[in-house]
Amino acid sequence: MKFTGADKASRSRATIVAVAMLAVMLSGCREVSRRLYRPPTVALHNVQVEAIGLTGGSLRVALLVRNPNFYSLSTAGMRYQLLVGDSVTIATGVDSTHRRVAANDSAIVELPVQVSWQGLSAAGRDIARSGLVPYRLVGSITLDTPLGAHDVPVNQRGSFAPLR
């Protein structure tokens, strides 16, 4: 079967129209996804010293996770690094506990954290100076959503008073 010039032009136009429609549909899906999913916020809520021993100590780090979506979110895991100031890493870890944050609500996520003497001494210097420990929390929380898994970056700075 031979195609004439008009047939080729017609097929070419049909291909262009199909590609344009596909592009419009895909951009529409992205827009719908943006409207249906808003990333939650994560903030350090509290840090408590639980124990101090020969090799270091243990802390309980509480994170406040706020869900701005109209549906609940479940965590599939978390990676974190806790620093005193911006330079001394006092803890790193991975938490695979599944948690749930209700729609338009918030939840406290607690992490048991083991710290070294180096981290404790850096924090101790700051406590002696001002009573506060400057911190930086970096990492990510992996969320299971109706639209698939989303990694939410965490990069929080602040200070806490561990002796309260």
Query: Mean pLDDT across the stretch 20-48?
Result: 67
- Residue 60's pLDDT band, with cuts at 50, 70 and 90, is confident
CA distance 80 to 93: 5
**Does residue 27 surpass a pLDDT of 60?**
no
Determine how β-strand 105-116 pairs with β-strand 73-84: unpaired
Q: What are the CA-CA distances from residue 102 to residues 41, 69, 106, 142 (Å)?
A: 14, 9, 7, 16
Angle at 140 between CA 137 and CA 143, to 5 degrees: 140
Which has more confidence, 14 or 57?
57
- Residue 43's pLDDT band, with cuts at 50, 70 and 90, is confident
Model confidence over 113-147: pLDDT tens digits?
888 787 777 777 777 777 777 888 899 988 887 67
Inter-residue contact 120 to 48 (CB < 8 Å): no
Model confidence over 63-119: pLDDT tens digits?
888 999 888 888 888 898 888 877 888 888 888 888 899 999 999 988 888 887 877
Largest CA distance in the chain: 89
Query: What is the pLDDT, as a whole number, of residue 13?
Result: 64
Q: What are the CA-CA distances from residue 53 to residues 49, 50, 56, 58, 92 (Å)?
A: 11, 10, 5, 8, 19
